[in-house]
Structure 1
Amino acid sequence: MLDDIWVDDAVHELRPDFAVLVMTAHGLTNGPTDDRSRAWLAAAAEAEAQPAKIDAWKDAYRAFGAKPQRTRPSVDALTRRMPLPEINQAVDAYNTISVKHALPIGGEDLDRYSGPARLLRAAGDEPSEEALGTPEPGEVIWRDDLGVTCRRWNWRQGVRTRLTEETVNAIFLLERLEPMTLEELKEAGEELADLLAELSPGVRIATRLLSSRN
């Protein structure tokens, strides 16, 4: 799965500094929010604001024609929701890391994918869930063989692949723009892996970095 994921050249042309750390987690034991994941969220809510990182995503949205004050990058929308929402343990884990590092992160059920995830600029006719709506031409989207899984880079994920309490195998997409360094991206990935391992001691984690350099 990891080897088949790709980012289209047109996305790197839009933002040459874009990189995504892809993480798969096999053998998860997910469940409803508990005191442990609630404490993670509370600690993340105390993190210092990092507006430069969020502004970079707003600029990226404007570059493909989106209005970030109307459809906010995921990390911008998340940091405006205090206290942080309680979803389930795995989602709480990646939201914790997202807020701590001002880093957009998507988490999805790997078993609900058809074919590999790929990030590209939309033609405007891609199959999409009704709740997501049809992507606009040039919009940056994540998709698989069945259609759109996330619109406007990281604005809104679809229902089909969302993480639930029944999810056993997951994929996480940690999306970086400068001024975040690749080293901090790696650290964020390690921190997320640690939280997932705390939830599921037998979980098997694998990662791959995709950037304009590889």
Structure 2
Amino acid sequence: MFTLKVSEEIRTACPDYNGAVIYATVKNFPFSDGLWEKIDAAAADYKTTHQIDEVKKNPHILATRNAYKKFGKDPNRYRPSAEALCRRILRDLPLYKIDTLVDLINLVSIRTGYSIGGFDARKISGDVLELGVGRADEPFEGIGRGMLNIEGLPVYRDATGGIGTPTSDNERTKLSVETTQLLAIINGYSGKDGLTEAVAYMQSLLREFAASDGGEVIYF
């Protein structure tokens, strides 16, 4: 298991921050019909209950956006992933179909508003992850985005460098169909409310679609 640390910079600016880690043995698949039935149902439900100007009012999305602002990052230009997913739904854009683990994490984000990092644990360098703030010119290759300017973004770093922000995770540690060890981090900039429910929901999906026992959970 990994040791998770939160930097003093984050603690000072975001005193309500709470995180949860799920570390699980999994079997990933290119596609799951059953999972996508749930995703399609969640998207249809979201369309009937939300307008696009309401997306950022979700307490978990709003708290993440406020964290960006505290570090000088424009959340309208670098949207948290949960917000970006929900906006795609309301703009009638198709959701990306990546693989079962990524799609599962996206479903939890849609249902909860949490931006969730998903990593292949075997690709992480060392056994310590620390949440800090991105620096100017810090190298970070976002998944499908090329080099991403992470200055002012909250970022998890391993022994090699940044692996995840609420906007995008890094190519170096991304999930693939070969992934057998999942490390998922649920970022609660809004505090503890809703965090245990999000963890339980993800664990239930892992049991149903990723041949997992739900994994080990650590709150920090």
TM-score band (shorter)?
A: 0.7 to 0.9
Query: CA-to-partner distance for each residue in 1:130-152, whole Å, 9 max, x for gaps?
Result: 8234542x5421111111112xx
For residue 70 of structure 1, report the CA deviation from its aligned partner.
0.7
Query: CA-to-partner distance for each residue in 1:64-103, whole Å, 9 max, x for gaps?
Result: 0101111111111111122432111111111111110111
Q: TM-score, normalised by structure 1?
A: 0.86
Distance 2:120 2:207 in 1: 17
The 3 A distance-change label for structure 1 pair 34 and 101 is same
In structure 2, the partner of 1:55 is 62
Structure 1 stretches lacking a partner, 5+ long:
none
Q: TM-score, normalised by structure 2?
A: 0.84
Percent of aligned positions with the same letter in both sequences? 30
Q: Does 1:76 align with 2:87?
A: no
The structure richer in helix per residue is: 2
Query: How well do the aligned residues superpose, as a CA RMSD in angstroms?
Result: 2.0
The 3 A distance-change label for structure 1 pair 204 and 195 is closer
What pairs with 1:1-214 in structure 2 (closer than 5 Å)?
A: 1-2=1-2, 4-26=3-25, 28-45=26-43, 46-47=45-46, 48-49=49-50, 51-53=57-59, 54-82=61-89, 83-115=94-126, 116-124=128-136, 126-129=138-141, 131-133=146-148, 135-136=150-151, 138-150=152-164, 153-178=165-190, 182-203=192-213, 205-210=215-220
Distance 2:72 2:64 in 1: 13
Equivalent pair of 1:74/1:104 in contact (CA under 8 Å): yes
Q: How many residues align?
A: 203
Equivalent pair of 1:132/1:158 in contact (CA under 8 Å): no
Equivalent pair of 2:101/2:210 in contact (CA under 8 Å): no
Equivalent pair of 1:41/1:84 in contact (CA under 8 Å): no
Equivalent pair of 1:25/1:203 in contact (CA under 8 Å): yes
Report SS of the residue matched to 1:149: strand
One-letter code aligned to 1:80: R
For residue 183 of structure 1, report the CA deviation from its aligned partner.
4.6
Query: CA-to-partner distance for each residue in 1:113-172, whole Å, 9 max, x for gaps?
Result: 001222112344645338234542x5421111111112xx41111111111111000100
The 3 A distance-change label for structure 1 pair 202 and 18 is closer
Runs of 4+ in structure 1 off by over 4 angstroms are none
Report SS of the residue matched to 1:36: helix
